[in-house]
């Protein structure tokens, strides 16, 4: 009899501990890691796998409310980073899981799904750009990954409930993808991003670009500083050349063939870089910008990219585009999680948390994303 009671007490204690653990897990949400195959990355000249690691954050109520659907924010990492950057790796020194718990508790950020893809390639960064050399990285995010997430998770699959934002190289990607895929993303942003390839910057880096143009092997690439490696990543994304192994790209500056060697502008490559300048792209897509539900831009005042942020801010002001702009004391990597929280607060007040109903031309009411299907 005594043993029976002891067993019963132990069982009840075990059950209580289990329920307490489940309740704690529910309060902070959870992280899911998946491998997602991207047709857009097939056949890239670097041999990078089209199968990409993706980390998905699911909010506390996701498993408790099986009929509820959520908006989605795509978080893009910076150069040399990966999806693990957001969960305690590399320079961010934070964990999105615990940060979200704090932001949700404050009431400033609402429950949402966060998607963090790995866009690291052989050049250590894709710049979230479609390139014959590196693959269709923009399409991977905006098409393949969005489709996968909508098909496998309980999302609100509509532009009004999607946002894209990132840090550094990811900041470039956040603004670029928002401009190029307005039917996919209704909110966009950049944290300490690079946005502008003006004459001053390009000329300042002309010697480094010219030096890069002389290298002939991957072993040489691996011995470079990350700053110089980033120039290869830019060139492969913006000025790919499938006829120029082993790097399959052109640089905006090179050397003359005759001695004494001089640095000269590669006009064709230079022009192609300019085509990926986001301030120029913004001028061509004013209607897209004005139709965004929210745009968030920030940067630290001691960040080497502060001029990029200020120029983007001024461009948006000149174009009459509403946006949130913030500067703070700090460097390039000091406050990434804080900035992310500020952006998610803005998006929480801008994204749709319910299906958006539109009126078709013939007057028929329709849910913009079609028939609702049950997903896990």
* All structural domains of the chain with their residue ranges: 27-196+277-367, 200-271
Give the C-alpha separation, 169 to 156, whole Å: 27
- Strand 324-328 vs strand 294-300: parallel, antiparallel, or unpaired? parallel
Cα separations (Å) of 105 from 285, 304, 349? 37, 34, 16
| Angle in degrees, 0-180, between the axes of helices 267-274 and 226-238, rounded to the nearest 10 | 90
| Lowest model confidence (mean pLDDT) among 90-94, 244-248, 372-376 | 372-376
Q: Does domain 27-196+277-367 have CATH number 2.30.22.10?
A: no
- For 75-133, write each residue's pLDDT tens digit: 999 999 999 999 986 667 689 999 999 999 999 999 999 999 999 999 999 999 999 99
Helix extents (H) in 153-225:
169-180, 199-204, 206-212, 218-222
Model confidence at 226, pLDDT cuts 50, 70, 90, reads very high
Give the C-alpha separation, 88 to 28, whole Å: 16
- Strand 162-167 vs strand 187-191: parallel, antiparallel, or unpaired? parallel
Cα separations (Å) of 247 from 22, 127, 221? 50, 16, 9
Give the C-alpha separation, 44 to 38, whole Å: 11
- For 268-296, write each residue's pLDDT tens digit: 999 999 999 999 999 999 999 999 999 99
- For 308-318, write each residue's pLDDT tens digit: 999 999 999 99
The whole-model pTM stands at 0.88
pLDDT at site 250: 98
What average pLDDT does the segment 316-324 reach?
A: 98
362, pLDDT greater than 60: no
């Amino acid at each position: 009899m005594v043993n029976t009671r002891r067993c019963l007490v132990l069982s009840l204690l075990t059950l209580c501990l289990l329920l307490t653990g489940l309740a704690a897990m529910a309060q902070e949400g959870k992280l899911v890691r998946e491998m997602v195959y991207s047709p857009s990355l097939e056949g890239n000249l670097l041999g990078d796998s089209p199968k990409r690691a993706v980390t998905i954050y699911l909010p506390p109520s996701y498993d408790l409310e099986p009929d509820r659907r959520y908006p989605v924010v795509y978080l893009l990492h910076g150069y040399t980073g990966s999806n693990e950057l957001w969960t305690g790796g590399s320079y961010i020194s934070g964990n999105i899981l615990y940060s979200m718990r704090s932001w949700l508790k404050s009431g400033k950020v609402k429950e949402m799904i966060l998607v963090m893809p790995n866009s690291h390639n052989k050049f250590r960064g894709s710049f979230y750009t479609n390139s014959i050399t590196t693959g269709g990285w923009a399409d991977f995010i905006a098409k393949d990954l969005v489709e996968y997430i909508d098909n496998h998770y309980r999302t609100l699959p509509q532009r009004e409930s999607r946002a894209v934002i990132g840090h550094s190289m990811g900041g470039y990607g956040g603004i670029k993808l928002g401009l190029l895929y307005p039917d996919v993303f209704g909110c966009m942003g950049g944290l300490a991003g690079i946005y502008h390839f003006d004459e001053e910057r390009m000329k300042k880096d002309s010697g480094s670009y010219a030096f890069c143009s002389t290298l002939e092997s991957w072993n040489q690439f691996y011995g470079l500083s990350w700053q110089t490696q980033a120039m290869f990543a830019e060139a492969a994304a913006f000025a790919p050349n499938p006829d120029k192994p082993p790097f399959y790209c052109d640089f905006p500056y090179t050397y003359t063939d005759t001695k004494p060697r001089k640095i000269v502008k590669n006009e064709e490559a230079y022009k192609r870089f300019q085509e990926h300048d986001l301030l120029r792209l913004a001028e061509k897509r004013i209607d897209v910008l004005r139709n965004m539900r929210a745009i968030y831009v920030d940067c630290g005042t001691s960040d080497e990219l502060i001029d990029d942020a200020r120029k983007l801010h001024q461009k948006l002001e000149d174009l009459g585009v509403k946006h949130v702009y913030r500067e703070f004391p700090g460097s390039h990597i000091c406050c990434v999680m804080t900035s992310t929280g500020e952006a998610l607060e803005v998006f929480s007040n801008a994204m749709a948390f319910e299906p958006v109903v539109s009126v078709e031309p013939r007057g028929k009411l329709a849910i913009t994303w079609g028939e609702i299907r049950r997903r896990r």
